[in-house]
Structure 1
C-alpha cells in the first residue's frame, strides 16, 4: 500500500503499533505532491530477511521461530503511469525468479 510518508514518519507509526522490526522506504515529493512510500513491519516471533527492495517493491523470506518452513513475501507498488504498466509486470516476473 502506498503510504505517502517519509521514513521517519513511518518509523514512529511502526513503534506506536508495537512492531519491533521493519523497513520503510520514503515517499517522493512534498506536501500534496507526495507519491509512493512503502513499509513492512513484523513482530519478534517472525523472522523476515529482506532480500531486495526499491521504490516499487519489498521482497523477503519469512520463517516463524517455531517452524522450519520458509516462504517468500513480496509487496509491489506498481508504476502509476499507464504507459509503465508493462514495467510493473516485468518487475513481478523478475521477482518471481528469486522467490522460494
Structure 2
C-alpha cells in the first residue's frame, strides 16, 4: 500500500492540481494526505472525484491558510477518530490483508510558539495508541542541518526538541522524499520537505 503526503500550499491552483493528478496516476496511492489545501470541501470533492477517490475527510482552512485533506480508495477503510488543524488521527483497515493500524497524519504548526502544543498531542496519542502506529506528514521542523538548504541556519534548540519527540514516541525517521526545504520556502507543484515516521 502506498501513502502520498504533500504540503501542497493550495491545491486549487492549476499547476498544483495537475502535479497532484500526475502523482496519483503514476503511483496509485491508497491514501492521500494534503496539507495547506486552502480550499473548501466543495472544491476538494471535485478534485477527489476526478482522481477516483470515493472517500474523504477534511479539516477546513482558517481563512486563507491551513486546511487538511484525507482521501482514500476502496482498498482501505478509514475511521477518523479525531482531528484538529494540525493532525488527523485514524484507524486504517486494509481490506485484502485484514491488517488494522493507526495513523496520525500531521501538519506541524508553522509557528514555533504553537509547535510544542502539537508535539504534546502527538505524545499523548503515542502513549494511548495500542495498534501499530504510523505518524506521517510535514512536521514543519528539520531533524538536522542537512535537511535544509539556504536561508537562516536551523534553530538547534528546535532540532533538539524534535529529536526528543521522536525518542519519546518511539518513532523511527524514514527520511523525507523530494527536494530539501530551501530557505524556508518551497515552490508550487513540488513535494515539499516532509518526514515519514513509524
Structure 2 partner of 1:83? 113
Give the ranges of 4+ consecutive aligned residues of structure 1 lying more than 4 Å apart after TM superposition. Answer: none
The answer to whether structure 1 residue 21 and structure 2 residue 55 are counterparts is yes
Quote the offset at 1:47 in angstroms.
1.0
Whether the 8 Å contact between 1:61 and 1:70 is mirrored in structure 2 is yes
- TM value normalised by structure 1: 0.85
Would you tell me which structure has more strand in proportion to its own residues? 1
SS of 1:97's equivalent in the other structure is helix
The structure with the larger Rg is 2
Gaps of 5+ in 2: 1-34, 132-198
Gaps of 5+ in 1: none
Equivalents in 1 of 2:125, 2:58: separation in Å?
19
Equivalents in 2 of 1:23, 1:68: separation in Å?
22
The answer to whether structure 1 residue 42 and structure 2 residue 42 are counterparts is no
State the Cα deviation string for residues 38-76 of structure 1 (Å, max 9, x = none): 011001121111111122111111111122221111111
Considering only aligned residues, what root-mean-square deviation do their CA atoms show, in Å? 1.3
Among 21, 25, 41, the alignment partner of 1:7 is: 41
Equivalents in 2 of 1:51, 1:10: separation in Å?
21
